């Protein structure tokens, strides 16, 4: 039982909220709850949870020595000695197989995408996380793949503006995460090779640029989707969307965004803004 609990913690269920991105394309298209869409989308969500968790296990195995020097990550099961490396790798392999099989059930191309995601993220965990900019690009690509997965599973077309929103929005979150990690570790940042070649001014530049591009891309998408007559709910949704980014930027600037899922679960004002945004977006989809 102790090993199973350690495996569950290594799978990081709190971070499964990231995989809700697979629902973005069906939701934006207004077809999430239609027959033939919801089922494959849920399967894609579960598949990404399994594959992403397998990658987390591999990452924790690779980082176990450096994690022991981190004030928070030293409590992870592998770094803390609660879970052996062989047990973690067996769990990772099992989760990977389950995720790929689930992906194949939804769509063969989704299985291919999941395999590509796993290969890219394992390469990141073992080697590429230590290369500046490349590490930001790979983590961002992981978020983007989640968004694309929803469209593949449901067989829906994906807007080019939507892809830009997902891409730049992901870069905003990832660079903000690195900025917060740098501030969290302070003088101990040198113990994390992924941070030693970054400065807070560079990372601030990166997440500022990403935030600007995200707002621009979302606005262009909203203008494209707005109807010629009636209430332009898509356009109105720009306001809460920008407010949400600004609220999240407060947490980044304070160095509190090292774990994005903690902000999503803990910031009640951000949750409120997100609900307003979701409401205006849903009204736009329903009135289209």
CATH of the domain at 119: 1.10.357.140
SS3 (DSSP) at 62: helix
CB distance 165 to 225 below 8 Å: no
Indicate if 193 and 140 belong to the same structural domain.
no
Q: Which pLDDT score is estimated for 89? A: 92
pLDDT greater than 60 at residue 271: yes
Torsion region of 210: left, alpha or beta (phi above 0 gives left; psi -120 to 50 gives alpha): alpha
Which comes out higher in pLDDT, residue 115 or 76?
Answer: 115
Indicate if 66 and 84 belong to the same structural domain.
yes
Indicate if 146 and 164 belong to the same structural domain.
no
CB distance 260 to 226 below 8 Å: no
pLDDT greater than 50 at residue 189: no
Torsion region of 245: left, alpha or beta (phi above 0 gives left; psi -120 to 50 gives alpha): alpha
Q: Which of 141, 158, 175 is the last residue of a domain?
A: 158
CB distance 136 to 175 below 8 Å: yes
Q: Sorting pLDDT into bands at 50, 70 and 90, what band is 247? A: very high
Q: Which pLDDT score is estimated for 186? A: 58
Mean pLDDT of the chain: 87
Indicate if 146 and 172 belong to the same structural domain.
no
SS3 (DSSP) at 258: coil
What is d(CA 132, CA 199) in angstroms, rounded to the nearest whole number? 11
CB distance 287 to 233 below 8 Å: yes
Indicate if 94 and 84 belong to the same structural domain.
yes
Classify residue 35 as exposed, middle or buried by CB count within 10 Å of its CB (0-12, 13-18, 19+): exposed
Average pLDDT of the segment spanning 266-285:
90
Indicate if 12 and 149 belong to the same structural domain.
yes
Indicate if 172 and 152 belong to the same structural domain.
no
Indicate if 199 and 98 belong to the same structural domain.
no
The parent domain of residue 73 ranges over 1-158
Summarize pLDDT for 108-127 with one digit per residue, the tens: 999 999 999 999 999 998 88
Angle, in degrees to the nearest 10, between helices 108-126 and 134-154: 170
Q: Which pLDDT score is estimated for 193? A: 61
Summarize pLDDT for 61-72 with one digit per residue, the tens: 988 888 787 777
Q: Minimal CA–CA distance to 47: which of 3, 113, 91, 2?
A: 113
SS3 (DSSP) at 88: helix
Indicate if 22 and 49 belong to the same structural domain.
yes
CB distance 219 to 238 below 8 Å: yes
Highest mean pLDDT among 138-147, 209-218, 226-235: 209-218
Which comes out higher in pLDDT, residue 259 or 19?
Answer: 19
Indicate if 13 and 145 belong to the same structural domain.
yes
Q: Please state which of the ranges 5-9, 177-181, 256-260 shows the lowest mean pLDDT.
A: 256-260
pLDDT greater than 90 at residue 56: yes
CB distance 157 to 151 below 8 Å: yes
Q: Which of 158, 193, 222 is the last residue of a domain?
A: 158
DSSP state of 14: G
* Number of independent structural domains in the chain: 2
Indicate if 181 and 242 belong to the same structural domain.
yes
Q: Which of 109, 132, 158 is the last residue of a domain?
A: 158
SS3 (DSSP) at 48: helix
Q: Sorting pLDDT into bands at 50, 70 and 90, what band is 209? A: very high
Indicate if 276 and 227 belong to the same structural domain.
yes
What is d(CA 48, CA 185) in angstroms, rounded to the nearest whole number? 30
Tokens of 192: 């994390």
What is the pTM for the complete model shown? Answer: 0.84
């Amino acid at each position: 039982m102790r090993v199973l609990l350690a495996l569950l913690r290594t799978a990081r269920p709190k971070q499964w909220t990231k995989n809700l991105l697979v629902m973005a394309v069906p939701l934006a298209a207004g077809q999430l709850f239609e027959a033939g869409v919801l089922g494959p989308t849920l399967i894609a969500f579960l598949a990404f949870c399994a594959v992403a968790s397998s990658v987390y296990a591999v990452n924790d195995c690779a980082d176990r020595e450096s994690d022991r020097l981190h004030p928070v990550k030293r409590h992870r099961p592998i770094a803390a000695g609660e879970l052996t490396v062989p047990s973690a790798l067996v769990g990772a392999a099992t989760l990977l197989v389950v995720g790929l099989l689930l992906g194949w059930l939804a769509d063969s191309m989704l299985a291919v995408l999941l395999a590509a995601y796993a290969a890219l993220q394992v390469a990141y965990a073992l080697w590429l996380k230590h290369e500046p900019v490349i590490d930001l690009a790979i983590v961002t690509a992981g978020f983007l793949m989640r968004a694309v997965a929803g469209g593949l599973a449901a067989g829906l077309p994906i807007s080019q503006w939507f892809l830009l929103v997902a891409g730049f929005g992901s870069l905003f979150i990832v660079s903000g995460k690195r900025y917060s990690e740098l501030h969290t570790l302070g003088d101990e940042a040198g113990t994390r090779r992924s941070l030693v070649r970054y400065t807070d001014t560079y990372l601030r530049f990166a997440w500022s640029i990403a935030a600007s591009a995200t707002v621009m891309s979302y606005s262009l998408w909203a203008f494209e989707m707005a109807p010629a007559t009636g209430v332009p709910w898509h356009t109105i949704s720009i306001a809460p969307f920008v407010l949400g980014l600004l609220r999240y930027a407060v947490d980044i600037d304070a160095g509190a965004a090292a774990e994005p899922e903690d902000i999503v679960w803990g910031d009640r004002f951000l949750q409120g803004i997100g609900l307003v945004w979701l409401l205006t977006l849903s009204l736009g989809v329903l009135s289209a």
